[in-house]
């Protein structure tokens, strides 16, 4: 059972890294368009990414319960930061009160630029989590 959890946890990490890069690139391409809001389809893919991150966290918790830990404890910090990024992404969804406040107070809000930045930060956190989990550096 444990090797399956480890392989799934690692495989999902690589899949999430690729997906976060795609989300970054897609949003980055829209940043200079007059209507820089991302499409509803983008949000569906973003939801898949966020669900994957939650699944990744659940798998990690199951591994810790089974006394399987990464070589470096920083791995947990990178995972925690990634969960924080997901919470921020959830707050940026259309119709969310946080988003409404930001768009009122900061009239130059560029959704595509903010989402590209958040997804690139996600990619960086996933990459660091992979390196600390596998190699311990």
Nearest to residue 28, comparing CAs of 132, 109, 115, 136? 115
Read off the pLDDT of each residue in 86-107 and give the average, rounded to a whole number.
82
Quickly state the pLDDT bin for 82 (edges 50, 70, 90): very high
- With a pLDDT cut of 90, the percent of the chain lying above it is 56
Sign of CA dihedral 70, 50, 109, 100: negative
| Tens digits of residue pLDDT in 54-67 | 999 999 999 999 99
| Max CA distance (Å), the chain | 52
105-126 confidence digits (pLDDT tens): 666 777 888 899 999 999 999 9
What total number of domains does the chain contain? 1
Q: What is the predicted pLDDT for the residue at 35? A: 67
Could you give the CA distance from residue 11 to residue 45 in angstroms, rounded to a whole number?
18
- Which domain covers residue 119, as residue numbers? 2-134
Q: What is the DSSP letter of 70?
A: -
């Amino acid at each position: 059972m444990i090797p399956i959890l480890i392989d799934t946890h690692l495989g999902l990490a690589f899949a999430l890294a690729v997906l976060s890069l795609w989300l970054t690139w897609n949003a980055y391409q829209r940043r200079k368009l007059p209507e820089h809001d991302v499409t509803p389809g983008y949000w569906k893919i973003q939801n898949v990414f966020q669900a994957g991150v939650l699944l990744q966290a659940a798998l990690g918790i199951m591994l810790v319960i089974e006394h399987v830990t990464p070589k470096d404890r920083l791995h947990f910090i990178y995972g925690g930061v990634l969960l924080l990024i997901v919470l921020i992404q959830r707050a940026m969804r259309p119709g969310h009160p946080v988003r409404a406040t930001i768009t009122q107070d900061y009239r130059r809000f560029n959704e595509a630029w903010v989402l590209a930045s958040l997804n690139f930060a996600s990619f960086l956190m996933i990459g660091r989590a992979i390196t600390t989990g596998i190699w311990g550096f």
